[in-house]
């Protein structure tokens, strides 16, 4: 199925009212599982220039899905895949190859955040497109103003695949914040996944 643009998704499934980082922290308060703010908000918390955010991405672990579903039992969870959405009903299992869940309070409410289900093993995060790219879960992120978020190198690795104007903006803003270890790690990850990526010229 062809990927739908933002306007068509809104027409079919409803609009977004994405949460701010403090609102995300409130939504996840007491959650018995790890979570990290991702995407543009994580970039901003790491020092990127402020910009508009059309959604709010939160990384969680696939292995924590039962606890995630319990935490959001009073909310609607919908599988997002290939430009389409499908409700994940309480008595149903997540379908194969699904790795995103959109969250809203009910059918009359806007979408609040996008849960990005990520693989892990033996206490380590695994990059979904190449499991050889990995980090200890304890080194995956940082906390700013009480909000856990992915660290800059991991944010940029996810953004490198599409490189939209907002991703280029975030890269330019975050580049000065990357220390030597993060630059080396990101360059190595891009060398495996996108060896000709233009960002590599700025990471040496």
Q: Phi/psi at 109 (nearest 5 deg)?
A: -110, 155
Measured distance CA(39)–CA(56) in Å, rounded: 7
Average pLDDT over every residue of 34-40? 97
Nearest to 113 by CA among 8, 17, 14, 3: 17
pLDDT score at 8 = 74
6-194 has CATH 3.40.50.150 classification: no
Q: By the 8 A CB rule, do 103 and 111 touch?
A: yes
Q: pTM of this prediction?
A: 0.92
pLDDT in tens, 56-110: 999 999 999 999 999 999 999 999 998 889 999 999 999 999 999 999 999 999 9
| Bridge partners for 139 per DSSP | none
Give the contacts of 65 (CB within 8 A, at least 6 positions apart): 94, 117
User: What's residue 10's pLDDT?
Assistant: 72
How confident is the model over 47-63, as a mean pLDDT? 94
Residue the block writes with tokens 């979904």: 128
Report residue 3's pLDDT band, with 50, 70 and 90 as the boundaries: low
Output the pLDDT for position 37. 98
Per-residue model confidence as pLDDT tens digits over 126-181: 999 999 999 999 999 999 999 999 999 999 999 999 889 999 999 999 999 899 99
User: Where are the chain's structural domains?
Assistant: 6-194
Give the span between the Cα atoms of 72 and 7, in whole angstroms.
27
The C-alpha atoms of residue 154 and residue 39 are separated, in whole angstroms, by: 10
DSSP 117: E
């Amino acid at each position: 199925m062809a990927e739908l643009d933002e306007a068509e998704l809104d027409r079919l499934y409803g609009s977004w009212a994405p949460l701010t980082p403090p609102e995300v922290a409130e939504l996840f308060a007491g959650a018995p599982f790890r979570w990290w703010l991702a995407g543009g908000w994580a970039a901003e918390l790491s020092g990127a220039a402020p910009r508009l955010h059309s959604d709010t991405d939160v990384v969680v672990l696939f292995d924590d899905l039962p606890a995630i579903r319990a935490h959001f039992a009073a909310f609607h969870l919908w599988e997002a895949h290939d430009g389409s959405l499908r409700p994940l009903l309480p008595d149903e299992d997540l379908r194969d190859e699904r790795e995103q869940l959109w969250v809203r309070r009910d059918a009359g409410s806007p979408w609040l955040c996008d849960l990005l289900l990520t693989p892990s093993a033996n206490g380590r995060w695994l990059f979904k497109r190449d499991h050889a790219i990995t980090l200890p879960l304890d080194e995956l992120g940082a906390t700013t103003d009480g909000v856990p978020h992915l660290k800059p190198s991991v944010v940029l690795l996810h953004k490198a695949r599409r490189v939209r104007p907002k991703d280029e903006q975030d890269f330019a803003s975050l580049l000065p914040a990357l220390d030597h270890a993060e630059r080396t790690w990101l360059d190595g990850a891009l060398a495996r996944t996108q060896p000709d990526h233009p960002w590599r010229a700025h990471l040496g």
